[in-house]
Structure 1
Amino acid sequence: MVNHVEYLQSLGWHIEEKFNERKQETKNFLPAVNAGIDLKPYKEIDITTYLLKEKQKKGKKIYASIYEYNGRIIGGNGQLEEWEPGVFPLNDKERLIDEGTIAK
């Protein structure tokens, strides 16, 4: 069984609650491409999205989506509420702190 808590904690993030789960066809799936994940090898993936305990400096929410294929984590991305471009690689936490986007 894949452990989402451990995966996100290994990247410095902490789950507040599960937000949603869905299956997603990968054809034309741009958010993953923008966050640096190559989904070309996969036709359909499972996506679980969590609201994180971490917050943006202005109090807005941060979400993390974990991508799985056949029960194995293949990557994920983060989303900042009301932020453009909207998605970021999950391993960018320190950069976002340094830029002043999220609270330490």
Structure 2
Amino acid sequence: MATSLPIHPKNSISKEVLENYKAAGVDLTPYTGQELHDFRYELKEERAGRPLTAVLFEQDGKIVASHVVLPDASPGIFPIDDREGAMQGGE
């Protein structure tokens, strides 16, 4: 599923959310004021009986950022290339 995600101060992505993404290793701040599309993919890996989700951010046909969403974890997002951290995150 793809959705449009404008990255600017007056939308649903607040400065706090951008800072949380950045702290988790996913820096979207270079795209402030621009529009990204996000694509979500349910993964085969599970945690607590629920599947993980991969999220890819695309702009002009190129993937510019990505992360994995973990159900029941805090912070709940990890860089997509940190498989070990993602599988152990929040434990």
| TM-score normalised by L of structure 2 | 0.71
Q: CA RMSD in A?
A: 2.2
Classify 1:60/1:39 alpha carbon distance in 2 versus 1 (closer, same or farther; 3 Å).
Answer: same
Instruction: After superposition, give the CA deviation of every residue in 1:61-102 in whole Å (9 maximum; x if it has no partner).
Output: 2001001110001121110112221111111112344x387x
Q: What's the % identity of the aligned pairs?
A: 31
Q: Quick check: 1:45 aligned with 2:36?
A: yes
- More displaced 10-residue stretch of structure 1: 30-39 or 81-90: 30-39
Match of 1:93 in 2: 83
Instruction: After superposition, give the CA deviation of every residue in 1:47-72 in whole Å (9 maximum; x if it has no partner).
Output: 0001001111x222200100111000
Secondary structure, in 3 states, of the residue corresponding to 1:82? coil
| TM-score normalised by L of structure 1 | 0.64
Aligned residues: 80
Instruction: After superposition, give the CA deviation of every residue in 1:2-41 in whole Å (9 maximum; x if it has no partner).
Output: xxxxxxxxxxxxxxxxxx2101012235354243233233
- Runs of 5+ unmatched residues, structure 1: 1-19
Secondary structure, in 3 states, of the residue corresponding to 1:94? helix
Secondary structure, in 3 states, of the residue corresponding to 2:72? coil
Runs of 4+ aligned residues of structure 1 deviating over 4 Å after TM superposition are none
